[in-house]
Structure 1
Amino acid sequence: MARLRLGYTKSRSGCLRCKQRRVKCDEQQPCRACVRHNVECSLTASRSSSEPPSARTTRTASPATQPPSLTDRGRHLQPSTSKPLDPQLQANHLSPTSYTSPPPLTTNQPLGTPSDPYPYFAKFTPSPYPQPDNPLTTSWVSDLSLLHHFTTVTARTLFRTGATPKERKNLWKIDVPRIAFSPGHTFLLHEILATAAFHLAFLEPHNRGKYHVQATQHQTVAIQGVRIAVENITSENCHAIFAASSLFFISALAGARPDVKGMTVDDFVDVFLLVKGIGGVLDSASVDLKRGPFGKLFIPAAQEVVQPNLTLDRVMAQLDVFLERVRGLVEGDNVRAVVELEVGQLKMSIEKARATTLDPEYRVIASFPIVMTEGFVSLLRGGNQVAMALLGYYCVVVHATERGIWFTKGWGLSILQDIARHMESPWTEDSAWAMGWVTGYGAEQV
């Protein structure tokens, strides 16, 4: 049985303007919100066009002669919802009144405007959308459930790199939530809840729709808060921004459904730009980050020799072969220079990851987008064959992470399939090798 909520009368008969603004409408004619904003109310317009004059005359009697409605009395028992959701909501007012299902994220959504200093957020922030017929109502109870899931389950699946096993466990289970509850860091709390909801959507496919709605709502508010915070990065807030940024990367991958809707190279580039953009913003705080709780992630793993890794060994060998082919086949000096540099960046990411962590594949897929050049991104956006061939080798590493990471599931194969659809000779050889390795049909696999 649904729980009753004091001071809340659910209705779908509000005026169009209140629906568009996603605020509570008192359903008077005209409603108080429209009167306050000095705009025409659709309730008055619809009544005027459908009722006889006598009915309209009766209804325009003085408000003083009418008894207060249940809605009016209830309004004194609940906080006002006439204002947009504040990104810096206090923790005890975390839940929006109702969550509404956003439109699917697509590659043709605008990636910001020329005046937007952070355009890489736009792809992951749904545009304003109308309310559905059956909005999903949530409460602080569901938020507590998400927080519990994050600290007890999701935290154990994140960033198993650097420091000791106990420190890695406590970082996301204890340290990050503590940072999120600090004043001014509500955006991190929202992103924690978004990540937990995406994880539950992965674990419970039959409830995927419900959790995806919650995740998208929390992530939207988190991005709004981070947009404000990055305007003034300090030694106090840089840790919360770094934590939220790390979780944005996870959410960007987890929020898609490569197993249902094939993802494209453009989708992947959008994720790259998000990681690269936030990484660039945080460069100025690198010293403070290493001195704080996240300094544990920068501590090299204690290992005397680099451990063998079949996938990374083969990718490194194939990159050497690919580089020789680039030097012999690519005629344009600019394209050749960009791709040669990017091959070096990918190899360096692999070598550094293997030397500093026992989980090198994840470190590679998270660090390579940060050092990716603008020139290489432009080549990928333009469908350059050589650039996509190189991206295929990165996808092999992404696919290798699926053995232990839930949020990369399906991405490697899906992007490789998109690459293969557009690849032409002589670069089909590279995409064929990558596809063969991922699908298990590669002749060189042991």
Structure 2
Amino acid sequence: MGSVAGVLTPDADAFPYFAKFAASDTSIEDEWIKDLELMHHYTSSAYLTLPRATDIRHSTYAICASIHQNKAIFGLQSALGQISNENCHAVFAASAFLCICGFASYSSQNVADGRPAFENFLDVLLLIRGKSFILDSFSKTLHHGPLGMLFHKGDQNPAAPPILTTFIIQLRYLDSLITEGDPSSALCREAVKSTIEWTERVIESTHWPDLRFTLSWPICLSEGFVDLLKQSDPMALAIFAHYSVILQHTGNMHWYLSGWGERVIKDIGDSMDTDWRETIKWPLRIVSNT
């Protein structure tokens, strides 16, 4: 990305999900260069990395990022009304950048808005689910288009990260704590089951299962469970706190996720009655050891 005002900006690792955009591939370069909204997303992402390099122009960079992000959102909303096989590649890429910018906007390096972190995450959750709709609707076209290389998993997978193995074990224990007869119990059990299955799926299908899981978990959730999160249902928040352990883990390696996991777990812990503390014992222990 070069330098701005004499300050070196982060390298391509800042965009791991789209790292292959940096490859010398004319078809990919043409796809985002010719699309104005996609360029606004890219510019917003670039500005969001700059506060990490220096605090001197933090507010200026944040404002610039917000301006480009708002323009990109406006353009994306217009494009969604007429999405087709021709423009789905740019729309999908733009929506993916929007998800990254959503995480980055609320990261610990940016100005907090006073809302609990888990409430901010709900905004990002909706963005991720929207991106999934585009992928599901145009899966075949996307896989065979200029972005197809992003969906190739490679020849062999590395061993599953230990954190994901432990995560599955802890989810099964959490499932044993769900009380039958509670109005939300069925939705929470379904969410635990879906989360475990999704975790196992990403372990088998990608070289970066921890990051892939972090960025895609909302896709496997039901609308009913999302409503429970919006209502701050205790067991739903406990499941969310467990996910946030993985969020914290990936945040240690990827700037736009930095600070999220710890903030979410602490916010959930502060909002929990003592009767529910057992359900978030593992996430709280992870945070206390950092």
Q: What secondary structure is seen at the aligned counterpart in 1 of 2:147? A: helix
The corresponding residue for 1:320 is: 172
Partner residue, 2:33: 181
Question: 1:236 aligns to what SS in structure 2?
Answer: coil
Within a 5 Å distance, the mapping from 1:138-177 to structure 2 comes to 153-159=10-16, 167=20, 169-170=22-23, 176-177=28-29
Q: Whole-Å Cα distance in 2 between the matches of residues 308 and 280 of structure 1?
A: 27
* Match among 383, 391, 409 for residue 258 of structure 2: 409
- What secondary structure sits across from 1:322 in the alignment? helix
Q: Distance in 2 between matches of 1:355 and 1:153?
A: 30
Q: Quick one: which amino acid aligns to residue 242 of structure 1?
A: F
- In 2, distance between residues paired with 1:198 and 1:370? 25
* Residue aligning to 1:293: 146
In proportion to residue count, which structure has more helix?
Answer: 2
Per-residue deviation at 1:144? 10
Q: Which residue identity does 1:230 align to in structure 2?
A: L
Query: 1:206: how far off?
Result: 2.1
Matches within 5 A, 1:236-385: 236-258=86-108, 261=112, 263-303=116-156, 307-326=159-178, 329-332=179-182, 334-385=183-234
Cα pair distance change 1:231/1:338, threshold 3 Å: same
> Against the structure 1 CA distance between its residues 301 and 344, is the aligned structure 2 distance closer, same or farther, given a 3 Å change threshold?
farther
What is the TM-score of this pair, normalised by structure 2? 0.89
2:272 counterpart of 1:423? yes
Instruction: Give a deviation string over 1:55-96, Cα, whole Å, max 9, x none.
Output: xxxxxxxxxxxxxxxxxxxxxxxxxxxxxxxxxxxxxxxxxx
How far apart, CA to CA, are the structure 2 residues paired with 1:175 and 1:154? 22
Q: How does 1:195-210 map to 2 (within 5 A)?
A: 195-210=45-60
Q: Could you list the runs of 4 or more consecutive aligned residues of structure 1 that deviate by over 6 angstroms after TM superposition?
A: 143-146
Give the Å deviation of 1:270. 1.2
Partners of 1:365 and 1:397 within 8 A in 2: yes
Give deviations 1:347-389, integer Å, cap 9, x for gaps. 1221122112222111001111122211111111111100000
Residue-by-residue CA offset, 1:276-317 (whole Å, 9 max, x unaligned): 12322442211111111322222223326x504221111110
The 1-side partners of 2:13 and 2:30 are apart by 16
Aligned CA distance change for structure 1 residues 290 and 223 (closer, same or farther; 3 Å)? same
Aligned-partner residue type, residue 247 of structure 1: F
Distance 1:324 1:176, change over 3 A: same
Q: How does 1:390-405 map to 2 (within 5 A)?
A: 390-405=239-254
* Alignment map for 1:111-150 (pairs within 5 Å): none
Question: Which residue of structure 1 lines up, in the alignment, with residue 236 of structure 2?
Answer: 387
CA contact (8 A) 2:117 2:260 kept: no
Deviation at 1:160, TM superposition (A): 5.3
In 1: Cα distance, 2:190 partner to 2:155 partner = 30
- Asked if the contact 1:249–1:271 (Cα under 8 Å) also holds between the matched residues in 2, the reply is yes
Structure 1 gaps of 5+ residues are: 1-142, 442-446
Greater relative CO, 1 or 2 (CA 8 Å, sep 6+): 2
Residues 177, 189 of structure 1: 8 Å contact kept:
no
Is contact 1:379-1:387 (8 Å) kept? yes
Q: State the TM-score, normalizing by the size of structure 1.
A: 0.59
- Quote the Cα distance in structure 1 between the aligned partners of 2:163 and 2:219: 22
SS of residue paired to 1:272: helix
Identify if the C-alpha distance between structure 1 residues 190 and 144 changes in structure 2 by more than 3 Å, giving closer, same or farther.
Answer: farther
Amino acid at match of 2:76: V
For residue 277 of structure 1, what is the amino acid of its counterpart? Answer: G
Q: 1:193 aligns with which of 7, 31, 43?
A: 43
Q: Which amino acid aligns with 1:270?
A: D
Write out per-residue CA displacement over residues 245-295 of structure 1, whole angstroms, 9 at most, x where no aligned residue.
Answer: 111111111112436636432111111012112322442211111111322
Larger radius of gyration: 1
Residue identity matched to 2:139: S
**Separation of aligned partners in 1, 2:162 and 2:133:** 32
Q: CA deviation at 1:199?
A: 1.0
Q: Percent identity?
A: 28
Q: Distance in 2 between matches of 1:367 and 1:191?
A: 19
Cα distance change, pair 209–336 in 1 and its aligned pair in 2 (3 A): same
Count of aligned positions: 285
Q: Please show how residues 27-66 of structure 1 align to structure 2 within 5 Å.
A: none
Change in 2 beyond 3 A, CA 1:303/1:281: closer
**d(CA) in 2 for partners of 1:233, 1:377:** 26
Given residue 198 of structure 2, which amino acid in structure 1 is its aligned partner?
S
The residue identity in structure 2 corresponding to 1:351 is E
List runs of 5+ in structure 2 lacking aligned partners. none
| Code of the aligned partner of 2:16 | F
**RMSD over aligned Cα atoms:** 2.7
Question: Residue 427 of structure 1 aligns to a residue in which SS?
Answer: helix
